[in-house]
Chains A and B, each alone.
Chain A
Amino acid sequence: MTQILTMVAQRLALGLLTLFVVSLIIFLGVELLPGDLTQAILGQAATEETVAAFRKELKLDLPPHERYIAWLGGILQGDLGHSLANKRAITELMGVRLWNTLFLAFISAVISIPLALGLGILAALYRNTLYDRMVNIFTLSSISFPEFFVAYILILVLAVQLGWFPSISNIGEELGFWERVYRSILPALTLTLVVVAHMMRMTRAAIINLMASPYIEMANLKGLPRARVIVKHALPNALAPIINVVVINLAYLVVGVVIVEVVFVYPGLGQLLIDAVRTRDIPVVQATGLFFAAAYILLNLTADVLSILTNPRLLHPR
């Protein structure tokens, strides 16, 4: 048991370290700014005073390590600083959008995970049948599509031609839960289509790999029915790879969300990030970038820890 705890603790420490380094990279990015960045942002016409004010605003007048500590300290206390574009507190900007983004990712996950696992396992069990070949062609095509291609096709067909769903996901807090779901269907569907393909392929590969193990042959040679072989012998060992597949794809969702939000003008974090990048609103880029990276790292960390916790060899050490 201690062995497992040490391994989990090691992973957690590594995750924290990574997060720390990532925050450093995101922060030092600004440091790499060529000297005339202030001018590039403010334009050639900027006066000495505005440049000085800008530098003060970004705290560029302080030494880098002090600024980093101040920035990190602020984040830890829930203060992300202020936007350069509209001077509002970033915490305030991110608040609602964060929930919107999580809401979208949640709906997509709820649709895609059961669908992908079910279809992927079926493809593995009915390997080399017509169904499996169709699945292969479908998923192979689907992972090749850019997200905005899928999104616009859905808009063209479901929103413009059939008029079933709105093409712009204009959601706000005043809306009821089902109304929000309704307006989020198209972006969620886009994300689902892209993620399901990845997840199905990975699930299929993991199950096929597993079914080739000698202990599965042994279970068959003990005369056990197929269902029992799968539930009793394959599943406990499939847990780790399947968890891995799911979490990797959740992480993928987090990134895919950026483009989908832009297409559907969905008021989420991705939209905020892109707007900030366009206006070079550096504090906002840093904060949202850090959030996305943190979510990604956390999800991968979860996958690592869960796969340790479900490994029988580690659960029952010598």
Chain B
Amino acid sequence: MNDDAAITDTPEPLLKMTGLRIEGQADEQWNEIVHGVDVVLHRGEVLGLIGESGAGKSTIGLAAMGYARPGCRLSGGDIVFDGVELRSASENYKRDLRGVRIAYVAQSAAAAFNPAHRLIDQFAEAPVHHGVKSRAEAEADAKDLYRQLQLPYPEQIGYRYPHQVSGGQLQRAMTAMAMSCRPDLIIFDEPTTALDVTTQIEVLAAVKDVVKQFNTAAIYITHDLAVVAQMADRIMVLRYGNLVEEGTADQIINHPKEDYTQRLLAVRTYRKPDADPPSEEPLLRIEDVSASYSGSARVLENIDLEIGRQRTVAVVGESGSGKSTLARVITGLLPPEDGRILFEGEALPPALPQRTREKLRRLQMIYQMPDTALNPRQRLRDIIGRPLTFYLGLTGRKREDRVRELLEMIELEPDDFIDRYPTELSGGQKQRVCIARALAAQPDLIICDEVTSALDQLVAEEILKLLQRLQDELHVSYMFITHDLATVRAISDEIVVMLQGRIVEQGTKNDVLTPPHHDYTDLLLSSVPEMEIGWLDRTLAEREGRRSRGEKVLESADQ
């Protein structure tokens, strides 16, 4: 009797994938990339798939539609959607399912919308083609959905072409398009990864709202645990195509069992200890610098900034804030129009070719993408050895010994690595080599341009710790350019917040991070997802509350 009740209480799941195996093709060979994963999803449930790159999360998400990208194949297991096995189902059956009962929201909406058609035409295509709605019904429905997703001008925006609409808006228009047939299941494939944080929070809120309203089941794929904590009822942690841990959002976020999950959760907790600001003269001083790219509008206006010895100054801002341009001005790639840059009190020539080799040596740079920052045709010996020869005149035995010393410093075994090419390294190892190359010049200041954003979270944390250790040992200063506030909290002594080419707030870490803030700093800080269930709802309620009390609340520039 009890058993019967249990069966009726848990109805047939909407989607059940058992023993799912997927293979990918590389060098004319098929290698397994997903090794037998089970996924169960009930109606109206939101399942978060989380993992670092190579975890197979996107591939698994697409497999739920019975689809494998070119170069991949579904090689084993069952995919049962609403009682029908999809791997053996006919193409016609799957075609009738896709767009109607299962829909997909891609990571880059800008690329996934066809540039040749209006948004509303692309919206209406699936419902009209599959006979769910008439064209007129579809258009009316599109406008309703646009309104619910809080797109501006919901009546008109559908008649625009994709390239006429901003990234955050496109991502919401794509969610609306996925909703057009009121599917039972939507696959969200990293829908906010390409967006700025202040835009992300708005898209997250809109998505969460419609999914709940129509009781749609969803698979939400992301690499960001804090995001998934806001969206998912249940979370699956994946790594290398295997399941690591599965549980309710509360279990995973608040009581993780596996070591890997715990490490993922701990990623954002690293903090640099506070240090007293130095009293001596700053290493680098930027005085009233303005800059623009030839002929166009100013991208930097009246920047004043100081970086002390052995200090880390974080420059924070979203895309278009001018933070990377600031780095180009300091390095001399883009001579400023106004103002000057002082290095140890001495004016630095504005353009790169005018600077002496000695000046160049003392200022080094590390980049966001270690893949493109290392010449793939040079061995590590030459990559790290070149600055030694160029700046310090080391050759032969001396140079070789110093390269090995530097490799040890960045925790790579010299005998194993010195003869390797960059393509034979992992992402984290490449970034370490970039650090070693910068250190080879024995610089006083290293500009780090988004050095951790292209890396998986665990690897990124290792890099931050390494940079901190090196600062303690070698007393270098860092200028840390980033959009990621977790990184800022972890490593900075001082923070500079930039918006549209201007500095809106600057000060020591504690000054900037504790209220009262500048309005924009406040928006930025409060938009960063926290590793806490209910954070999104709480934050939105707070903003709504302030709005109703008549206080000013800034909105994302992407509106």
Contacts and interface: CB of A to CB of B under 8 A. Distances in A.
Interface stretch (B109-117, B244-252, B258-266): B109-117
Contacts of B65: 221
A222 B183 CA distance: 11
B161 A222 contact: no
A307 to B, nearest CB: 14
Nearest to B111: A214
A318 B116 contact: no
B108 A223 contact: no
Contact of B126 (A213, A222, A225): A222
Contacts of B104: 218, 221
Contacts of B125: 222, 224, 232
Contacts of A225: 95
A189 interface: no
Contacts of B126: 222-224
B130 interface: yes
Contacts of A313: 115, 161, 163
Nearest to A218: B112
Interface in B112-128: 112-117, 125-126
Interface in B70-110: 70, 94-100, 103-104, 106, 108
Interface residues on B, range: 20 to 34
B63 to A, nearest CB: 12
Contacts of A232: 117, 125
B549 interface: no
A43 interface: no
A179 interface: no
A97 interface: no
A149 interface: no
B69 A219 contact: no
Contact of A214 (B106, B116, B129, B163): B106
Contact of A221 (B99, B116, B117): B99
Contacts of B354: none
Contact of B95 (A214, A217, A223, A318): A223
A280 to B, nearest CB: 50
B164 interface: yes
A241 B334 CA distance: 37
A314 to B, nearest CB: 10
A237 interface: yes
Nearest to B125: A222
Contact of A312 (B70, B98, B111, B115): B115
A223 B96 contact: yes
A141 to B, nearest CB: 25
A215 B114 contact: yes
A316 interface: yes
B240 interface: no
Contacts of B129: 222-224, 228
Interface residues on A, range: 20 to 34
A74 interface: no
Contacts of B163: 312-313, 316, 318
B417 interface: no
B343 interface: no
B540 to A, nearest CB: 29
A125 to B, nearest CB: 13
A220 B94 CA distance: 10
Interface in A230-279: 232-233, 236-237
B116 A222 contact: no
Interface string B255-284: 000000000000000000000000000000
B535 interface: no
B97 A237 contact: no
B421 interface: no
Nearest to A313: B163
Contacts of A316: 160-161, 163-164
B130 A223 contact: yes
A302 B322 CA distance: 41
Contact of A223 (B99, B111, B115): B99
Contacts of A221: 65, 67, 98-99, 103-104
A97 B132 CA distance: 62
Contacts of B97: 223
Given A223-B97, A224-B129, A318-B163, A217 B115 contact: no
Contacts of A222: 98-99, 103, 125-126, 129
B69 A312 contact: no
A129 to B, nearest CB: 14
Given A221-B99, A221-B104, A223-B126, A214 B164 contact: no
A236 B116 contact: yes
A237 B98 contact: no
A220 B68 CA distance: 11
Given A222-B126, A223-B96, A224-B99, A215 B113 contact: yes
26 contacts: A214-B111, A215-B114, A217-B69, A218-B113, A219-B114, A221-B104, A222-B98, A222-B99, A222-B129, A223-B94, A223-B95, A223-B96, A223-B100, A224-B95, A224-B125, A224-B129, A228-B129, A237-B115, A237-B116, A312-B116, A312-B163, A313-B163, A316-B161, A316-B164, A318-B163, A318-B164
Interface of A: 212-215, 217-225, 228, 232-233, 236-237, 312-313, 316-318
Given A221-B99, A236-B116, 20 more contacts: A212-B70, A215-B113, A217-B106, A220-B98, A221-B98, A221-B103, A222-B126, A222-B129, A223-B98, A223-B99, A223-B126, A223-B129, A224-B125, A224-B126, A224-B129, A233-B116, A236-B117, A312-B116, A312-B161, A316-B160
Lowest 8 CB-CB distances: which A-B pairs, in order?
A: A223-B98, A222-B99, A236-B116, A223-B99, A214-B111, A215-B114, A312-B116, A221-B104
